[in-house]
Chains A and B, each alone.
Chain A
Amino acid sequence: MIVIRDLVKRFGHVEAVNGVSLTVKRGQVVVIIGPSGSGKSTVLRCINHLETPTSGEIWVDGMKLTHNHKDINAIRAEVGMVFQQFNLFPHLTALENIMLAQRVVRRRDAREAERIARAQLERVGIPEKAGAYPGQLSGGQQQRVAIARALAMNPKVMLFDEPTSALDPEMIKEVLDVMLELARDGMTMVVVTHEMGFARNAADQIVFMDKGLIVEQNTPDQFFSNPREERTRLFLSQVLR
């Protein structure tokens, strides 16, 4: 579904990603973990071209990412993205947030877009918040609307960029539950997170990144119980206390 080959991304002289290759199969959940500044978010943002790779190749569902704007928009419509800061549109209601891209990108008529939007709100567990503006919702509710907004486009892949890092602790679970549900339904997902519990429960593969490189990649069982690299052991000893 996603193939990344020798991805390099530099910001000025800073190498954020230093040659990463990664394959995500259909229906797989890949969780990327690592210390801050390790380049994990940058890899994610390169997949839907929010960052332009310095070099390397990325394929999404058989389509190669190029600089052609039409192609990029087409790929983005197939790749849902959930941000740390939610990034809901504050001037639109929850329902309108979910309907807008369906209307202007997928060209669905208002009725169908609304039907799908309500179904997605139901799926993330807050159908009663359809008419609320983002400012009237809690962080957890906002993030669930953001997930519904991405799902309404029928994406083939979902990318999560630290989706719970900006949430109060009591709201983290409601968002993770939605994501777990999604993983069980067979959605292909790439998740950057610090939630080790989620990584252990939902991931098919765990990728550990440090200093712009993949240090270690393994199944959750092997990764947590039997890490191969010294750097991984050190990291795990710091986060699993």
Chain B
Amino acid sequence: MAAVSSTTTPSSVQGNFVERLARLPWWLLLLILAGVTLLYQFLTNELYTVILDKLTRGIATTIFVTLISFSIAILVGLLAGLGRVSKNPIIYNLATLYVQVIRGLPILVWIFYVAFVLTPAFFSFVNGLGDLLAPLLGPDNFLTQASTQDVTLLGRAVIALAFAYGGYEAETFRAGIQSISRGQMEAARSLGMSYLQAMRYIILPQAVRRVLPPLGNDFIAMLKDSSLVSVLGVRDITQEARLYVAASFRYPETYNTLAFMYLSMTIVLSLIVKGVEARLGKDGRGTS
């Protein structure tokens, strides 16, 4: 190596320079350029300023839907993932049924189904239960009074997204758990730990570390898919954009702004995920 570098000629220096130039993240620079152009528009162009102001009203909803749905999805996914590796045939089959149904449905269809089929069905079940318990709780108890209208479309959208992603995270967790070598469970069990103790103290801490990067990517995907809640009329940034377009017909300006908002969030998040991934890769403790 040393001999090669000592005989470096001017032309190979140039070669190195071109190579290094080619390796720069040009995509990011181009994207930032586009972003700066838009930013300039937001500051100088009155129409863009108005649109940005309108869409920003939905940002809290977008973030709220993403955070809450994803938190629930992690919990649901962890439980369903544990079910997918369970030796109990009932638990295993219930978890698998859930995962397969979710994976086989478009999210859009699933959102409609939860909002307009499952939620009313749940409440007619609750009402029926209330009627059944009427002798105990009185005829106008809280169960009979409960109605589908009590759950806003925002609430239904969050539940639908949470359980859709719960199905995806279940497979992520299953893969993470199964990637831990069998010897870990055997060692824990041979020390007298129960299955659940071994899961909690030995398997899951290692598995979670391994699934952190895919979970980060799914969080970004959830941010993008949160736009689907607009079909229920939930006023996230996508819905605000659609409403503005419907009144103004300013398609390019509105959707430029909408795309800008999503991209600035997703690009930053994906850089964070990359950083976390690199850090986890560095310390060798995650591997067994």
With known contacts A83-B183, A89-B184, A135–B285 Cβ distance under 8 A: yes
**In the complex, what's the smallest C-beta–C-beta distance from A218 to chain B, in angstroms?**
29
Does B189 lie within 8 Å of A149, measured CB to CB? no
Query: In the bound complex, how far is the Cα of B205 from the Cα of A81, in angstroms?
Result: 23
Does A153 lie within 8 Å of B205, measured CB to CB? no
Instruction: Convert A189-201 into 0s and 1s, putting 1 for each residue whose CB lies closer than 8 angstroms to a CB of B.
Output: 0000000000000
Does A79 lie within 8 Å of B190, measured CB to CB? yes
With known contacts A87-B183, A91-B209, A81–B201 Cβ distance under 8 A: no
**In the complex, what's the smallest C-beta–C-beta distance from B203 to chain A, in angstroms?**
10
Which of A13-21, A25-33, A100-108, A115-123 lies at the binding interface? A100-108
Query: In the bound complex, how far is the Cα of B184 from the Cα of A87, in angstroms?
Result: 6
Does A81 lie within 8 Å of B193, measured CB to CB? no
Does B193 lie within 8 Å of A105, measured CB to CB? yes
Does B192 lie within 8 Å of A101, measured CB to CB? yes
Query: In the bound complex, how far is the Cα of B188 from the Cα of A87, in angstroms?
Result: 9
A74, A76, A85, A90: which contacts B191 (Cβ < 8 A)? Answer: A76
Query: In the bound complex, how far is the Cα of B187 from the Cα of A150, in angstroms?
Result: 10
Instruction: Convert A96-134 into 0s and 1s, putting 1 for each residue whose CB lies closer than 8 angstroms to a CB of B.
Output: 000011001100000000000000000000000000010
Q: Does B75 contact A (CB under 8 A)?
A: no
Does B209 lie within 8 Å of A76, measured CB to CB? no
> Which residues of A in the span 48-97 have a Cβ within 8 Å of any Cβ on B?
48, 50, 69, 73-74, 76-81, 83, 85, 87-91
**Chain A residues positioned under 8 Å from B183 (CB to CB):** 83, 85, 87
Query: In the bound complex, how far is the Cα of B205 from the Cα of A102, in angstroms?
Result: 18
Nearest residue in B to A76 (C-beta to C-beta)? B192
A50, A90, A104: which contacts B287 (Cβ < 8 A)? Answer: A90
Query: In the bound complex, how far is the Cα of B189 from the Cα of A123, in angstroms?
Result: 24
**Chain A residues positioned under 8 Å from B188 (CB to CB):** 89, 101
Does A83 lie within 8 Å of B191, measured CB to CB? no
Does B190 lie within 8 Å of A81, measured CB to CB? yes
**In the complex, what's the smallest C-beta–C-beta distance from B189 to chain A, in angstroms?**
6
Instruction: Convert B262-288 into 0s and 1s, putting 1 for each residue whose CB lies closer than 8 angstroms to a CB of A.
Output: 000000000000000000000011111
**In the complex, what's the smallest C-beta–C-beta distance from A223 to chain B, in angstroms?**
29
Q: Does B148 contact A (CB under 8 A)?
A: no
Does B284 lie within 8 Å of A153, measured CB to CB? no
**Chain B residues positioned under 8 Å from A135 (CB to CB):** 284-285, 287
With known contacts A73-B192, A105-B191, A50–B206 Cβ distance under 8 A: no
**In the complex, what's the smallest C-beta–C-beta distance from B137 to chain A, in angstroms?**
40
With known contacts A91-B209, A100-B201, A105-B192, A83–B287 Cβ distance under 8 A: no
Does A91 lie within 8 Å of B205, measured CB to CB? yes
> Which residues of B in the span 171-210 have a Cβ within 8 Å of any Cβ on A?
181, 183-184, 186-194, 197, 201-202, 205-206, 209
Nearest residue in B to A90 (C-beta to C-beta)? B288
With known contacts A85-B183, A135-B284, A91–B194 Cβ distance under 8 A: no
A80, A87, A150: which contacts B186 (Cβ < 8 A)? Answer: A87
Query: In the bound complex, how far is the Cα of B181 from the Cα of A45, in angstroms?
Result: 17
B191, B194, B201, B205: which contacts A69 (Cβ < 8 A)? Answer: B194
**In the complex, what's the smallest C-beta–C-beta distance from A34 to chain B, in angstroms?**
22
**In the complex, what's the smallest C-beta–C-beta distance from B51 to chain A, in angstroms?**
49
9 A/B residue pairs, CB under 8 Å, sorted by A:
A73-B193, A74-B192, A78-B192, A83-B187, A89-B187, A90-B286, A101-B192, A105-B193, A135-B285
Top 10 nearest A-B pairs (CB, nearest first) are A77-B192, A87-B187, A101-B191, A81-B190, A87-B183, A105-B192, A90-B288, A76-B192, A135-B284, A73-B192
Chain A interface (Cβ < 8 Å from any Cβ of B): 48, 50, 69, 73-74, 76-81, 83, 85, 87-91, 100-101, 104-105, 133, 135, 146, 149-150, 153
